Amino acid sequence: MLSRIQTAHTRRDDVPTSKMRAIIISAVGTVIPCIIAGAIVGIFFRSSFWYWTLGIAVLAFLYACLDRIPLRLFTGTMKGLPLGGLLRYGYASTDKRPVPTFYEIEDRERFNIYSYDHYYGDREK
């Protein structure tokens, strides 16, 4: 009985640490690649290096957040994935991405039909 209590106590103490570790890994794993991408572009424009670095980094960060990379990195860290698997899961996995609803698909198809007819007209005449 005592070992169960000790195990439960250890788990409770370990959970905030692992969550904090997952938060740090997801934040660093999202921000650092964005800054590196901006710096690579900034290398070609040495006179305005920091403008390019920060501009591209902000755009890359927005894309990374919209693609839910921090969420997948957090989830992968909580699952205990190794570093290689974590990076593959965080950057290449397709789960946790937004899925278009039926109405969004229908609107896109309707737009494609109308725009095709508008530009090309009725070809059968």
Helix (H) or strand (E) segment spanning residue 8: helix 2-43
Nearest to 96 by CA among 109, 110, 79, 112: 79
Check residue 124 and give its pLDDT: 57
**Residue 8 exposed, middle or buried by CB count within 10 Å (0-12, 13-18, 19+):** exposed
Residues of the chain with pLDDT under 50: 1-2, 6, 8-10
Check residue 102 and give its pLDDT: 83
Helix count (H) and strand count (E) of the chain? 5, 0
